[in-house]
Structure 1
Amino acid sequence: MSISMIGIDHSMAPVDIRALFAFTRKNAGEAMEKLKEQPGIDGCIILSTCNRLEVWASVDDTAELSLYKELCKLKNINDDQYEIYFTKREGHAAVEHLFYLASGLKSQILGEDQILTQVKDALGIAREHFTTDGALEVLFRMAVTAGKKIKTEVPFSHGNPSVIHQAIEMLDRQGYCVQDKVCMVIGNGEMGKVAAQALMEAGADVTVTVRQYRSGMVNIPFGCKRINYGERMDYLPKCDLVVSATASPNFTLREELFENLELEKSIVLIDLAVPRDIEPEVGRFEGVTLYDMDSFKTDEKPAELQEHLEAAGKIVREQMDEFFKWLEGKDLIPRIQEIKENAVNDFNLRIMKPLKNTHMEELEKEQLLSAVDRAMEKVVNKMLFGLRDSMNEQAFLECVAGLEKTYEK
């Protein structure tokens, strides 16, 4: 068994290419079920966010399969031209990637912690659809643990960044301050709520759209106003800035809706969705400035963030070492268990004769033997796992093989 993954992200592909391979939560679950049915795949997890799509699998070493081709089948794509945008990782490289990813060290905005929740949610969806296996379960769980440890012990000093925070900062550098601006956020999911909260904290007047049939059930950030989604185009001319962040497969703002629209002032539109929420042609209208997810890329690392990277990297490496110890020992556990059982049986045979000559009741003898068995198991465990921790891998494997030969019949 080996761990493999393929991935596409903001550093390798523009938003329109990433959109072709994006999954909703529901679609991801259905896709994982189909993927696990393929011969040679023991477990799988799909991680789909606005910035990336990754397919993870525990693969039989003898199986001949392409995760990219399996993904294309799921998305009904019959063209190999997109394969150049994907990165394939296996074994150690795949594990290292996930640990650094969950820690926010590979995000478009370095140090952001939304990805930690997204990795955790991806594991949760896989559990719900029974598509994970032991190796992926432990890998994702330990990667999340590393991310949490970094979040607790190495707080990145510029807070909890997200794309909307970076968008606000970029606009501010360009001389556009959102304070006192009239803003509308289309979408009240996780991304929409983060956007609304960030705009509120920056001093904007924020209104959030809510689907009419869910109006009474949706919580929006305190201080925001709400309107029905169907009223968005009536309210839009009053706005200085509009953010759209939904999981809708359709455009929330289409070109045709702007054809006869009379804007009261210039307006900034920010599309935070993958696939896109705002039809790109909307940006051609006079007075409209349109940004998408890729508008906020930056290679700049804040000085205060750079100071914490080494500490975060140390935590990642420590947690990775723990995972590889577990992975290396996983296949040895049945062998160690058999050695332990043989050792206990051997000891019992040697102690039975002197035990028979003692003046003890049968019940007392049984209780004594049970206690001895438990003690022997603990001793053998301590010896074997102590050897594993103090020897290199090859020497330890030779010790295990030698102990197995001792009890060969």
Structure 2
Amino acid sequence: MHIIVVGLNYRTAPVEVRERFAIAPERLSEAVRELKRWKSVLEGVIVATCNRTELYAVVDRDHFCPQHVRNFMAAWFGMSKDEFAPYLYTHEDEAAKRHLFRVACGLDSMVIGETQILGQVRDAFLLAQREGTTGTIFNALFKAAVTTAKKAHAETGIGENAVSVSYAAIELGKRIFGSYRGKRVLIVGAGKMSELTVKHLFASGAERIDVTNRTLARAEELAARFGGQAHPFDALPALLAEADVVISSTGSRETILSKADVEAAMRARPSRPMFMIDIAVPRDLAPDIHDVGNVYLYDIDDLEGIVETNLELRRRESEKIEAMIADELAAFDQWYRSLGVGPVIRALQEKAKDIHQETMESMRNKLPDLTEHELKIIHKLTKSMLNQMMHEPIQRVKEMAPERHGDEALEYFTKLFALEAALGAPSEKADAAAATSEREERRPLQHGSLTLA
């Protein structure tokens, strides 16, 4: 069996292409069921977000299987393969597994270390599991990836440093106020950057938001989204005197607030600090406002410097996570290589049991005068002999199966004890997976140090 992933993301495809591959949440179950029915696909999971659409599959052969998945995509999305082929990437086996772990940990995200993708990967797996499109391999692999991602975020600082301008601005404000609860926020301008910053403020507990803009309708639209209050632009001086946080992002070619404006506002509120964020280019707020007492002014360069520093810190943390991924993939691979040993051992035990039963029947026929007591003693002793004879070979093959050449060891073991017929013609891990899938599907799995219920 082989593991593959075929997909596209924000790096390989522009948004106008990605949106054509969007799968509505209500159709995801249908899509993953259809993928599972496709030729050569044994297990399937689809991870679909605004920044990526990825199809993960366990396939029964490596040749042509990525092509089969691309054929599915062409059929499902109603496009010719020539249209989307330039935007696709394909990873197989080790590269596919590593890609899944990196995606779950946020290392492949537009914002490195973000945690939203972890929930999206987990939800995609759980949906596929409910739809019956996963089995032993993906039940183990996706659980290990999700658990590794949780561990990575808990044990490193990958998500601790703000890496967007708007979020960096909000984190700076927390250093001044501790909390935004009860603080009055003034938004000057109603553009995209202002909207993103308001979202972060709202999530951080800001309760009163005033919005002013030269076009009042735009101010009203933004204020309505967050339960705020819109004001005409000429109300700016009065609003400034009441504001604890000022975020300015207009399209003005000249400054809209001077040092004198802010000094006048501060005289009306001498004991209250003011946090001002100028994310406009050209700047909305005069640079010398920084000299006003109890006023903390940051412009776009300040924020971008913080973001770049934080990105570098996240990159360093990502190196730790890459090492964690390597360890967990090694544990998964060891588990995977041991999958075939169970059926082989059971085949040997069944063969020994049959030989023992045949021998006891022959003994009954050839020695009819043996009493039941004598037969019980002989049965017990001969069974003990067989078990002792098998004990060491079984222990050795258990030890050898997870090693690098474990498949060869299992093959030799199978031939040595003539178990081919009992195991079936192709002695593939697929047989082992099929035999254990029902049992493994709903219980916690362990891989190295990982456990996920």
**Which TM-score band applies after superposition, normalised by the shorter structure?**
0.5 to 0.7
Q: 1:378 to 1:197 in 2, by over 3 A?
A: farther
User: 2:426 is matched with which residue?
Assistant: none
Q: 1:121 to 1:69 in 2, by over 3 A?
A: same
CA distance in 2, matches of 1:306, 1:9: 20
CA distance in 2, matches of 1:408, 1:41: 26
CA contact (8 A) 2:47 2:54 kept: yes
User: 1:114 is matched with which residue?
Assistant: 116
CA distance in 1, matches of 2:27, 2:411: 47
Report how far residue 241 of structure 1 moved.
7.3
**Structure 2 letter corresponding to 1:180:** V
Q: 1:395 to 1:134 in 2, by over 3 A?
A: closer
Q: 1:374 to 1:394 in 2, by over 3 A?
A: closer
What is the correspondence of 1:122-271 to structure 2 with a 5 Å cutoff? Answer: 122-156=124-158, 158=160, 166=164, 168-169=166-167, 180-181=185-186, 198-200=200-202, 202=204, 204-205=206-207, 237-238=219-220
Report how far residue 136 of structure 1 moved.
2.1
User: 2:397 is matched with which residue?
Assistant: 384
Report how far residue 33 of structure 1 moved.
1.7
CA contact (8 A) 2:6 2:54 kept: yes
User: 1:191 is matched with which residue?
Assistant: none
CA distance in 2, matches of 1:408, 1:111: 51
CA distance in 1, matches of 2:217, 2:48: 32
CA contact (8 A) 2:167 2:197 kept: no
CA distance in 1, matches of 2:131, 2:388: 41
Q: How many residues of Structure 1 are paired with residues of Structure 2 in the alignment? A: 326
TM-score normalised by structure 1 residue count: 0.62
Equivalent residue of 1:302, what SS?
helix
CA deviations 1:322-355 (Å, max 9, x no partner) are 22223333344322321233345567888998xx
User: 2:317 is matched with which residue?
Assistant: 308
CA contact (8 A) 2:38 2:68 kept: no
Equivalent residue of 2:164, what SS?
helix
CA distance in 2, matches of 1:263, 1:27: 45
Q: 1:337 to 1:406 in 2, by over 3 A?
A: closer
User: 1:248 is matched with which residue?
Assistant: none
Report how far residue 47 of structure 1 moved.
0.3
Larger mean CA deviation between 306-315 and 47-56 belongs to 306-315
User: 2:31 is matched with which residue?
Assistant: 31
Report how far residue 8 of structure 1 moved.
1.0
User: 2:89 is matched with which residue?
Assistant: 87
CA contact (8 A) 2:106 2:113 kept: yes
User: 1:324 is matched with which residue?
Assistant: 333
User: 1:72 is matched with which residue?
Assistant: 74
User: 1:18 is matched with which residue?
Assistant: 18
Report how far residue 109 of structure 1 moved.
1.3
Q: 1:119 to 1:408 in 2, by over 3 A?
A: closer
TM-score normalised by structure 2 residue count: 0.57
CA distance in 1, matches of 2:109, 2:419: 52
Q: 1:382 to 1:26 in 2, by over 3 A?
A: farther
Q: 1:4 to 1:394 in 2, by over 3 A?
A: closer
CA distance in 2, matches of 1:241, 1:4: 47
Report how far residue 369 of structure 1 moved.
9.3
Larger mean CA deviation between 302-311 and 89-98 belongs to 302-311
CA deviations 1:8-34 (Å, max 9, x no partner) are 111122222211101122211111122
CA distance in 1, matches of 2:46, 2:32: 7
**Structure 1 letter corresponding to 2:53:** L
CA distance in 2, matches of 1:406, 1:172: 67
CA distance in 2, matches of 1:8, 1:300: 29
Report how far residue 118 of structure 1 moved.
1.0
Q: 1:305 to 1:367 in 2, by over 3 A?
A: farther
Q: 1:301 to 1:328 in 2, by over 3 A?
A: farther
**Are residue 404 (structure 1) and residue 406 (structure 2) matched?**
no
Among the aligned pairs, what percent are the same residue?
A: 22
CA distance in 2, matches of 1:242, 1:299: 33
User: 1:257 is matched with which residue?
Assistant: none
The structure having more radius of gyration, on CA atoms, is 2
User: 1:96 is matched with which residue?
Assistant: 98
**Structure 1 letter corresponding to 2:43:** G
Equivalent residue of 1:105, what SS?
coil
CA deviations 1:93-130 (Å, max 9, x no partner) are 11111111112211111112221111110011112222
CA distance in 1, matches of 2:123, 2:351: 43
Report how far residue 6 of structure 1 moved.
0.9
Q: 1:34 to 1:314 in 2, by over 3 A?
A: same
**Structure 2 letter corresponding to 1:238:** E
CA distance in 1, matches of 2:18, 2:397: 48
**Are residue 393 (structure 1) and residue 406 (structure 2) matched?**
yes
CA deviations 1:52-84 (Å, max 9, x no partner) are 110111223166643223112212224622221
CA contact (8 A) 2:347 2:419 kept: no
Gaps in structure 2 of 5+ consecutive residues:
172-179, 189-195, 210-215, 237-247, 251-306, 364-369, 423-453
**Structure 2 letter corresponding to 1:326:** W
CA contact (8 A) 1:110 1:301 kept: no
Q: 1:302 to 1:401 in 2, by over 3 A?
A: same
CA deviations 1:180-217 (Å, max 9, x no partner) are 1459xxxxxxxxxx99873225564578xxxxxxxxxx
Q: 1:150 to 1:39 in 2, by over 3 A?
A: same
Q: 1:347 to 1:144 in 2, by over 3 A?
A: farther
Gaps in structure 1 of 5+ consecutive residues:
184-193, 208-233, 245-261, 269-297
**Structure 1 letter corresponding to 2:22:** A
User: 2:56 is matched with which residue?
Assistant: 56
CA distance in 1, matches of 2:156, 2:200: 23
**Structure 2 letter corresponding to 1:126:** A
Equivalent residue of 1:330, what SS?
coil
Q: 1:147 to 1:236 in 2, by over 3 A?
A: same
